[in-house]
């Protein structure tokens, strides 16, 4: 799971026992992953906003992510009410036969995207960072 917090410091999350503004996992995370990669200001950084590491977003990086999330909403508007998302592979060999697809509801993904955009907007307005904390 990837939990996102709007705060001044990562230490504040623990000290104030903040609750995440948004949590991502499963097919919703994997649907959005391509937009996270596109939002990274470090070209080719496939670890940006991953499920197992912590990331701080501030300034221009928040703007980039918001821009990509708006693209995700455009993508979602063309999808059916439910659709499959590739979440990984079963076993060590990656092939068509080992792909692991999960179905997700479009409205659920749209809801998470709107939550993310609200958190990013709040961070911009308050001059704070967004801390993404992975498992």
Please, are residues 123 and 62 in contact by the beta-carbon 8 Å criterion?
yes
Please, are residues 104 and 31 in contact by the beta-carbon 8 Å criterion?
yes
**C-alpha span between 53 and 95 (Å, rounded):** 27
Domain coverage including residue 69:
2-134
Q: How confident is the model at residue 124 (pLDDT cuts 50, 70, 90)?
A: very high
**Residue 33: its pLDDT value, please?**
94
Number of domains in the chain: 1
For 63, residues 6+ apart whose C-beta sits below 8 A from its C-beta are 124
- Tell whether pTM > 0.75: yes
């Amino acid at each position: 799971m990837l939990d996102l917090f709007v705060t001044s410091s990562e230490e504040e999350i623990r000290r104030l026992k903040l609750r995440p503004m948004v949590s991502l996992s499963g097919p919703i995370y994997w649907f959005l992953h391509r937009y996270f990669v596109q939002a990274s200001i470090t070209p080719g950084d496939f670890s940006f906003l991953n499920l197992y590491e912590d990331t701080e977003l501030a300034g221009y990086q928040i703007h980039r992510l918001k821009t990509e999330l708006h693209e995700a909403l455009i993508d979602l508007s063309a999808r059916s009410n439910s659709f499959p998302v590739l979440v990984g592979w079963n076993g060590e060999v990656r092939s068509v036969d080992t792909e692991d697809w999960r179905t997700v509801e479009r409205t659920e993904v749209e809801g998470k995207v709107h939550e993310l955009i609200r958190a990013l907007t709040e961070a911009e307005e308050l001059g704070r960072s967004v801390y993404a904390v992975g498992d």
